[in-house]
Structure 1
């Protein structure tokens, strides 16, 4: 056999090995999303050795009226994922930018029922159901897809500061907590991504990571 033919044959035989090594090295872990908002670090003994394990925050449930008047809870979002944000209707700067970017996310996953958008107002004294209905219409929110939620001020303040860990404003009384962050929440109610919603490149990363999470759900036989 000629040297050239031997080289070609060797490369053909080597390709499956290289492909296997590539997939083994990068295929499983390359797209593994991190989990955010740690609660504590537990120590457990395995095989006589102590191992440290981080326990991440699981978001507690909420029940808040949406722009349609329908009360929405986290249980209504089970089985899929949602993108959470905080806004107020009279916000002149960051909120319109964030919501314009969320329109892109909605359009990208328009036909994917497992993806929802949840926008919590931080000014419920002004942002009534009627106000949010007009606001949602301005951004083309699809019914049952993109929820704008209002309700009790103390409950919304708790969600922002205790669940999503936004910095509390100065002073003892609950005030307006504002953030331009977007939060990717998985089906176990844990935060898997945090993004600057005013930056298109960050929103592209969000869109990609939503697709990654959906892919893992499609290929997860455990159901968790």
Structure 2
């Protein structure tokens, strides 16, 4: 075989090896998501040096009522990651857009039991369980997969502003909290992503980052 032919053959054989090494490196080094909502910085002494670690907020428990009329808490989400949102059923603008996008997310992960959606309604006066049941049917919400939750107005207000740190409502409806933001909450109750729920590109990023978390759970023995 001529030297030129040998060189070409060698390069052809080398390409898949280099591609494999690149993808392996990409997979091991790039599948990491940011954690949001820091609470504090703790310092610990290791030998003669001090190490500073950020402690991130964990979403607290709640007791609310789902569209089926069933009492629902964080325990119903144990072992799962979920996408949280805040809306109200009489909203005619961003809320329907956001819920249509969430329906896409549900469909993408229809057969993945570790992925759930939690939509908190912030207008409990109007959003009874019966209203929520009819509303959830418009978006094809799957029971046990996509929860539409309502309850005490003060409790939902605290959940929105304290746990997810949404700004307090102002203007014409100071007691009404809603947002276009979606929150990706991991199985340890840390917020790992924040997205514009009306932006298709942001939803694609959300879907990708859910997949990254699932990949991490499947391949990282530490489970983080």
TM-score by length of 1: 0.90
Q: Deviations over 1:25-61 (max 9, x none)?
A: 4222212111111111222233432232111111111
- For residue 183 of structure 1, what is the aligned residue in structure 2? 183
Please give the alpha-carbon distance, in whole angstroms, between the structure 2 residues aligned to 1:69 and 1:222.
37
- For residue 143 of structure 1, what is the aligned residue in structure 2? 143
Please give the alpha-carbon distance, in whole angstroms, between the structure 2 residues aligned to 1:131 and 1:106.
21
Moved more, 77-86 or 12-21: 12-21
- For residue 56 of structure 1, what is the aligned residue in structure 2? 56
How far did residue 112 of structure 1 move?
A: 1.0
- For residue 196 of structure 1, what is the aligned residue in structure 2? 196
TM-score by length of 2: 0.90
The runs of at least 4 consecutive aligned structure 1 residues that moved more than 4 Å come to 12-17
- For residue 44 of structure 1, what is the aligned residue in structure 2? 44
Please give the alpha-carbon distance, in whole angstroms, between the structure 1 residues aligned to 2:86 and 2:194.
13
**Correspondence 1:42-121 to 2 at 5 A:** 42-121=42-121
Q: Match of 1:86, SS?
A: strand
Q: Is there any run of 5+ residues in structure 1 with no aligned partner, and where?
A: none
Q: Match of 1:51, SS?
A: strand
CA-based RMSD: 2.2
Please give the alpha-carbon distance, in whole angstroms, between the structure 1 residues aligned to 2:183 and 2:125.
24
Please give the alpha-carbon distance, in whole angstroms, between the structure 2 residues aligned to 1:154 and 1:214.
34
What is the total number of aligned residue pairs between the two structures?
A: 223
Contact 1:87 1:178 survives alignment (8 Å): yes
Q: Deviations over 1:78-128 (max 9, x none)?
A: 111111000000011000000010110111111111111100011111111
Contact 1:157 1:174 survives alignment (8 Å): no
Contact 2:103 2:139 survives alignment (8 Å): yes
Q: Is there any run of 5+ residues in structure 2 with no aligned partner, and where?
A: none
How far did residue 72 of structure 1 move?
A: 1.0
